[in-house]
């Protein structure tokens, strides 16, 4: 069965790109543009992996991670951000991977494969 990914990314075009590329890579992809929408979706559906940005309007990615961990401790999380510097933020250690956004999605795809197959 196809693995379900939830992507949280506030940039609409990037959201579209990730959805298309990861669908092509063989996943069932849900993409939302803010943390609140992500939490709503998680209540309705079971995901195998969460990919989230950090800097977003409204609730940021770190707050989102904290809440996800309170809901479901076992779900793997990938942080996908334009910032190198959040790596030093203690809460980002809770995520399973920290990826700095790149035009090539190879690193992201490899990490997803490693975490959920």
The b-or-e profile of 34-69 (16+ CB within 10 A means b, else e) is bbeebbebbeeeebbbbbbbbebeebbbbebbeebe
CA quadruple 88, 114, 100, 82: dihedral positive or negative?
A: negative
Binding-residue total with another protein (CB under 8 A): 20
**Whole-number minimum distance, CB 12 to another protein, in Å?**
9
26 part of the interface to another protein, by CB under 8 A: no
Beta bridge partners of 6: 30, 50
Residue 29 beta carbon to another protein: minimum distance, rounded to whole angstroms: 14
Is residue 88 at the binding interface for another protein, with CB under 8 A as the rule? no
Binder to another protein among 23, 63, 83, 89 (CB under 8 A)?
A: 83
Q: Does 66 bind another protein (CB under 8 A)?
A: no
């Amino acid at each position: 069965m196809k693995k379900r990914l939830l992507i949280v990314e506030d940039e609409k075009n990037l959201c579209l790109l990730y959805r298309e590329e990861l669908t092509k890579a063989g996943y069932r992809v849900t993409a939302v543009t803010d943390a609140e929408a992500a939490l709503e979706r998680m209540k309705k559906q079971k995901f195998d992996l969460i990919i989230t940005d950090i800097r977003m309007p409204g609730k940021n990615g770190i707050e989102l991670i904290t809440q996800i961990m309170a809901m479901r401790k076992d779900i793997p999380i990938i942080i996908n951000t334009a910032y190198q510097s959040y790596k030093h933020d203690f809460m980002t250690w809770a995520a399973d991977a920290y990826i700095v956004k790149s035009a090539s999605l190879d690193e992201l795809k490899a990490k997803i494969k490693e975490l959920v197959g």
